[in-house]
Amino acid sequence: MNPAAMQSALSPAGIQASRVLDLWHVTLTVCCVVFAAVLLACMIALIRAPRGTPSTPADLSGNESPERKISRPVIAATIVSALLLVGLLVADVVTDRALSRLPVANALHIEVTGYQWWWQARYAPEGGGEGFTLANELHVPVGRPVVVSLVAADVIHTFWVPNLHGKKDMIPGQQTTIAFRADRAGAYRGQCAEFCGYEHALMAFSVIADPPAQYEAWAARQRQNAPVPADALALHGRDVFLANDCARCHTVRGTPANGTVGPDLTHLASRQTIAAGTLVNDAKNLSAWITDPPAHKPGVMMPATRLSPHDLQALVVWLDTLK
């Protein structure tokens, strides 16, 4: 994952995350006060407890008559606890209502599908331009609401970008949505927050909030097909890709490769990481990933691809042109 990407609910970058943080502060304050009160009560009880020796007989007077001095504090503590719980419930409902009131006029629409163990993002067409598909890295414009439709392709996943919003479960056979707005530019780490199998811990993604003009330029590049190789080595790399299983699993727009098993690689070189945030996207890691994916992400569905050094070099050179 991009080292600059943040993942912290305590550093909100949007209005919804700020609301969640406010709820966290209220809950933490109440819990700390209750914890301190319990410790204080325990200390008072220990200090005021009668002292005895091993030969002192047990005091069984409480079995014959009620201990009024104790029952009153217990009843009072019970009432206060109930009121605090009701208060937390009210705060939770108020926060939930606030999260659902985000204006979504002129929203950017993205459909995110969770797979074991990566994320596919389909951007809806807008402004007369075509939609496009990418994987494990979302770009959004600062200050504009984003509506994300969530789908799980296999098992239950959970979409979570703590800097921008709370968690949202993704259940197979059901579609749900989450809306957020990034108010501060930056890179924010997302994570599947529901155990979904062997590689759950390595199912990350990033949301990059760009200034509006920078986002539009990025989206325009994403709508384009893969460029035609400009040199012989890159051209050979494309032929290696098309001649092997790569083309049956991945799509590269502008080539005959139209596989849907793995991520769309049309603009792979523009992404900061590969393998759902597992490795930094550079030539060394890309070569290692193609050669032996399970060595870096045990349990991954992608099989190892054995190529000659020359073919591997050419393939990596071609993939680096997909920007």
Q: Are residues 6 and 103 in the same domain?
A: yes
The model's pTM is 0.84
CATH number at residue 158: 2.60.40.420
Asked if residue 97 lies in contact with residue 136, where contact means CB atoms within 8 angstroms, the answer is no
Neighbours of 86 (CB within 10 A): 10
Please tell me whether residues 238 and 112 are part of one structural domain. Answer: no
CA–CA separation, 112 vs 314, rounded Å?
32
Give the per-residue pLDDT at 51: 76
Q: How many distinct structural domains can be found in the chain?
A: 2
- What is the predicted pLDDT for the residue at 1? 53
Question: Which pLDDT tens digit goes with each residue over 131-161?
Answer: 999 999 999 999 999 999 999 999 999 999 9
41/151 same-domain check: yes
Q: What is the pLDDT of residue 243?
A: 92
Quick: pLDDT tens for 259-272. 989 999 999 999 99
Q: Which tokens hold the place of 204?
A: 């990350």
Distance in angstroms (rounded) separating the CA atoms of residues 204 and 191: 4
Between CA 295 and CA 276 the distance in angstroms is 15
Strand order of the β-sheet with 157-160 is 137-141, 204-210, 186-192, 157-160, 167-170
**Cβ–Cβ < 8 Å for 34, 84:** yes
Q: Say whether both 186 and 37 belong to one domain.
A: yes
pLDDT at 208 over 80: yes
Does residue 125 sit in the same domain as residue 265?
no
Please give the average per-residue pLDDT across 279-301, as a whole number. 93
Return the number of other C-beta atoms located less than 10 Å from residue 277's C-beta. 23
